[in-house]
Amino acid sequence: MLLELFSANQSPAVIQLFTEVFSDSEGKEEGQLIGHLVTDIVANTKAEDLIGFVALEDKEIVASIFFSRLVLPNKQAGYILSPVAVATRQQGKGVGQKLINAGIKHLRALGGEVLVTYGDPSFYSKVGFSQISQDMIKAPLVLSHPEGWLAQSLSEEPLVPITGETACIEALNHQKYW
Ligand SMILES: CC(C)(COP(=O)(O)OP(=O)(O)OC[C@H]1O[C@@H](n2cnc3c(N)ncnc32)[C@H](O)[C@@H]1OP(=O)(O)O)[C@@H](O)C(=O)NCCC(=O)NCCS
């Protein structure tokens, strides 16, 4: 398995991957929703605000992940992990964790300080995330599942509460995703 940075010419394959994976796991409607999200992310996010990776096997994209900038009111370098998908037949073999850990390493090298995500705590706790309250870091939109609000420090320093509003990229700035 080869991991590489996402490049724009991989957009069609990556959109298809996310649509298929989420259709398989969550149903067709969710597959379409996440397919649209990824379409919007890759088309409408400034290059400096977006970092994506793909995992390739025999030149085929079998997994992908996006990190984008989360503006924090205390000026720390914040990112959000969303979304990530591993091809249905490749799930449960460690690919997801490998991709997330490679992304974290890359964000650290870029000087990233805080990483948040929104998902299943039992999976994301395997790659360093802990559940946080909105007193620690406020979510940019209203959370329909507050127990899925997760974060980790990317620096040597532990997370400290951050007061004030946060802002995500435009593609994620829609209540239907939260
Ligand atoms: C969630 C996902 C990215 C994990 O990637 P993966 O390569 O299958 O997972 P890994 O093999 O690295 O890790 C497997 C571990 O995570 C757990 N796990 C895997 N998928 C999980 C899920 N959907 N929910 C909770 N735990 C999960 C497994 O129990 C396993 O734990 P174990 O190793 O202790 O048995 C992948 O299954 C996927 O794309 N799922 C569908 C889309 C999705 O839910 N994306 C995440 C939300 S943005």
Task: Give the pLDDT confidence of 95-130 residue by residue, as tens digits.
Answer: 999 999 999 999 999 999 999 999 999 999 999 999
Give me the pLDDT at residue 48, please: 96
Cα separation, 158 vs 88, in Å, equals: 35
Share of residues in the chain with pLDDT > 90 (%): 100
Give me the pLDDT at residue 96, please: 98
What's the whole-number mean pLDDT along residues 149-157?
A: 97
What's the whole-number mean pLDDT along residues 13-35?
A: 98
The one-letter amino acid code at 147 reads: E
> Is the beta carbon of 94 within 6 A of some atom in ligand 1?
yes
Give me the pLDDT at residue 39, please: 98
Q: Which domain holds residue 67?
A: 2-177
Cα separation, 67 vs 14, in Å, equals: 14
Give me the pLDDT at residue 101, please: 98
Beta-ladder partners of 116: 80, 151
What's the whole-number mean pLDDT along residues 38-52?
A: 98
Ligand 1 nearest atom to the CA of residue 119, by list position = 47
**66-75 residue pLDDT tens:** 999 999 999 9
Residue 74 to residues 77, 78, 127, 163, Cα–Cα distance (Å): 9, 10, 25, 8
> Is the beta carbon of 128 within 6 A of some atom in ligand 1?
no
Instruction: Determine the distance separating the centroid of ligand 1 and the alpha carbon of 101, expressed in angstroms.
Output: 13
Provide the CATH number for the domain around residue 135. 3.40.630.30
Residue appearing with tokens 């994301």: 124
Using most ligand atoms within 8 A of CB, pick from 16, 38, 86 the residue to mutate for ligand 1: 86
Contact 67, 52 (CB under 8 A): yes
Give me the pLDDT at residue 25, please: 98
* Overall domain count for the chain: 1
Using most ligand atoms within 8 A of CB, pick from 67, 118, 123, 124 the residue to mutate for ligand 1: 123
